[in-house]
Amino acid sequence: MAHFHNPKKSLPSDKVKRGLGRAPHRSLLRALGLDDEHMEKPFIGVINSYSEIIPGHIHLRALAETAKGAVKEAGGVPFETDTIGICDGIAMNHEGMRASLPSREVIADSVELVSRAHGFDGLLLIASCDKIIPGMLMGAARLDLPAIFLGGGPMLSGHYKGEKVDLKSVFEAVGKVEAGKMSEEELYDLECVACPGAGSCAGMFTANSMNCLAESMGLALPGNGATPAVYAERQHLAMQAGERVVRLVADDINFRQILTPEAIANGLAVDNALGCSTNTVLHIAAIAHEAGIDWDLGLVNEIGAKVPNLCKISPAGSHDMEELHLAGGVPAVMNHLLSLGLLDGDQKSVTGGTIAENVSGAEVTDQNIIHSDEPYSPTGGLAVLYGSLAPNGAVVKESAVDPEMLTHVGPCKIYQSEEEAVEAIFGGKIYAGDVVIIRYEGPKGGPGMREMLAPTSALSGMGLGNSVALITDGRFSGATRGASIGHVSPEAQEGGPIALVRDGDIVAVDIPARTLELRVEAEELESRLKEWSAPTPDVPRGYLTRYAKLVSSADKGAVFTD
């Protein structure tokens, strides 16, 4: 058996296992099967969000077993525990989506509390899906212990009528049925094949975006982002992660030594190159907050202006995560960005080496998937828009917007909730050229800042995806495409300009210029504000009520205020 060595005089676990006064504690540990030899080893918290309700997590038990075996071989003592988890796809388009973003704070809290209570010396964090990954990373940032993240990997694409399909395909097919372009029988056939098994949904949606960004920031091993869930390589990553977390403890390398401002910048660079989900902006801001790193939403544009968009993975294009992996994966993208001087290669990584060392030799093997020679655009996949409708910013996935919608001027149609908007879309009340505004869906107003894949998919399915802009103080699924602009700040619930817009007002969207303007005179808006009052969110008493009182605005990451 391997022998652990650490030059430090003490470890966090000493507070539960050292000294005369800890005899009762050791007695409880012995009830778990520990002996004297175990008491001399580091305690590793294996935080596994395995769940039977999330396809991205249904297979994590096997990964955890492999990782725990590696922890033991490396000289540590693994203790597996869990967190809650929510499947955004199942929670979508009903009240359940109000719980999704708020669950991120619960997950961060649970990681922090279970680790502090039991004196873990290091953390191995295992998850796959949106909110759960950033929640775990937020908790690790608070604790600042040696920690490594292990993702479960993306799902394979399904196949329908000779084409690759994924969850987005099913959402959009609902709109096609409503528009008479597809039969209910065809929808059923698609439903049965679109999600073929374990893993996070197959496109560059939020879950896979966060897996890729964890890798790019040095918080996960190379290959974490794109290696499919069903590949044996996932088990290899689990073995490496188990060994590495013990080594991080031995070498006294804590989480915030890796998670630096430069690591955040590396993450944003890869984010723009890959064309990741707009939700990454919320999550990176929140992770930075927990690490004590200053955050400015304008950094997204600053970095995006330099970084070319190299990939169009679903929903931006027809490729999937497996194809990205086979084309060289995140390491190939990072190595290319390094060659352009767009990454800080000296940053530390959980491998023990630098980012540059991690990706050395990684090559793009398929230019059809990773356009390193001829980028899709010279600037990145995300954009933050500012203007009279969004003084503090709004976010759009520019790489998933049709060229004809990069600029758009049109009259507004106002809806006070996602449900109202979907009813109007399917009811034929939205026309080419319109600007659909959905408000009171922000962090406080929702509360919970729901993802809205249903209205964007409905527009696409109804044939309006390239002629209608959709703007909200809520947010969009990573599977969303089109001129879908979210995170409008200040939100309506706080009296932001989006609360004052009226039917027929003209809004001008200019994504290349990074502007979002409401063409209403300032004096008129001031008059409307005097007549405005915040509505009371219609939610049951409980966590969401507390969440609405504590949560900050989207431009700050929708974190709890101190």
Residues annotated as catalytic (active site), given as ranges: 477
Integer CA distances (angstroms), 431 to 173, 426, 435, 438, in order: 19, 11, 9, 16
Cis before 490? omega within 30: yes
Rg (CA), the chain: 23
Instruction: Please tell me whether residue 386 adopts helix, strand or coil conformation.
Output: strand
Distance of alpha carbon 65 from alpha carbon 69, whole angstroms: 6
Question: Which alpha helices (DSSP H) does 346-405 contain, by range?
Answer: 355-359
* 192 φ/ψ sector (left φ>0, alpha ψ -120 to 50, else beta): alpha
Q: Are the beta carbons of 519 and 424 closer than 8 angstroms?
A: no
Q: Are the beta carbons of 497 and 388 closer than 8 angstroms?
A: yes
CA dihedral 296, 298, 301, 307 (to 10 degrees): -30
Q: How many residues does the chain have?
A: 562
Distance of alpha carbon 275 from alpha carbon 14, whole angstroms: 45
Beta bridge partners of 43: 77
Distance of alpha carbon 123 from alpha carbon 83, whole angstroms: 13
Cα–Cα–Cα angle for 263, 269, 272, rounded to 5 degrees: 140
DSSP tag of 436: E
3-state secondary structure 110-132: HHHHHHHHHCCCEEEEEECCCCH
Of all residues in the chain, what percent are helix, strand and coil, respectively (each to 5)? 40, 15, 45
How many other C-beta atoms lie within 10 A of the C-beta of residue 185? 9
